[in-house]
Amino acid sequence: MIIIVDLLLMLIDLTYSILSAIVQTVLRPRLKCIDGELCLITGSGGALGRLFALEFAKEGAHLVLWDCNEEANEQTAKLARELGVKVHAYTVDLSKRMSIYETADRVRAEVGEVSILVNNAGVVAGRRLLDCPDELLERTLLVNCHALFWMTKAFLPQMKTTNHGHIVTVASALGLFSTACVEDYCASKFGAVGFHESLTHELLAEENDGIKTTLVCPYIVDTGMFAGCEIRKELRGLIPPLDPLYTVQQSMKAILAEQQMICIPRLMYIPFITRALLPWEANVATYRFMGGDKCMLPFIKNVALKNVNGHIKS
């Protein structure tokens, strides 16, 4: 009898969730206020990280900026300070666990407790698996995936104490479905998605309802990270690389609406769903038709040319 009651309650919750999602898609959801919150953004010296910093600053959040590139990070800090918020910049190597923990201690001592954590930093080796040095493969996994564990362990305890906070994971559409020749990146982003989802389930199971999570899965963003990546030319107008500002603004809407997950553009939900529903061969046929199976080859060639030119110049 109990299981029947639980089943009915589950069906009611399921129906409500679907209807709520439909309503939020049609109507603009209410956005929360983050004025005065302390927001930490990793990879803040890069294109997306800088835009995230400026968007959070416009909302009145004070910033803690982490990046391995001190000069680029300070430039982001300068731009954010011009918007009238407090900004603290730190040079951190996210591939090193102790660097994360030690800098987290500094942040708590010098600035305060972080209530919004945006795990944005990401790298890619840009080489075929058998041509890629182990160190580069390891770095991709350390920065894109392992660092999520250390960052969360560093800042989640205080969020749990106050039952207040927001953890954002900037993953990728390549964490939902894969493509060829970027094994390191796909593995790290699949790991990021799995980590984020499991963490969200844990918070819900422990009834930490004041701690929100948002998973961001964009298609290729036009930041130069995947320069040269191309699908079939006839379809490029349908799925062009995303504008960085558009990507961040869509992400911000999801974060402020406390939306659990967002794929950018919405078209990315389709391959995510078909990957689970269609046979493997059907997905392969679709990839080949779209040129997705070879889309990374021009990108890898570009990386190789940059490396060669770099050696020549040096």
Catalytic residues: 185
In the chain, the largest separation of any two C-alpha atoms, in whole Å, equals 76
With vertex at residue 243, the alpha carbon angle to CA 241 and CA 245, rounded to the nearest 5 degrees, is 155
**3-state secondary structure string across the chain:** CHHHHHHHHHHHHHHHHHHHHHHHHHCCCCCCCCCCCEEEEECCCCHHHHHHHHHHHHCCCEEEEEECCHHHHHHHHHHHHCCCCCEEEEECCCCCHHHHHHHHHHHHHHCCCCCEEEECCCCCCCCCHHHCCHHHHHHHHHHHHHHHHHHHHHHHHHHHHHCCEEEEEECCHHHCCCCCCCHHHHHHHHHHHHHHHHHHHHHHHCCCCCEEEEEEEECCECCCCCCCCCCCHHHCCCCCCECHHHHHHHHHHHHHCCCCEEEECHHHHHHHHHHHHCCHHHHHHHHHHHCCCCCCHHHHHHHHHHHHHHHHHC
Which of 171, 194, 212 lies closest to 34, judged by CA?
212
Which phi and psi (to 5°) does residue 21 adopt? -65, -40
Q: Are 100 and 119 in contact (CB under 8 A)?
A: no
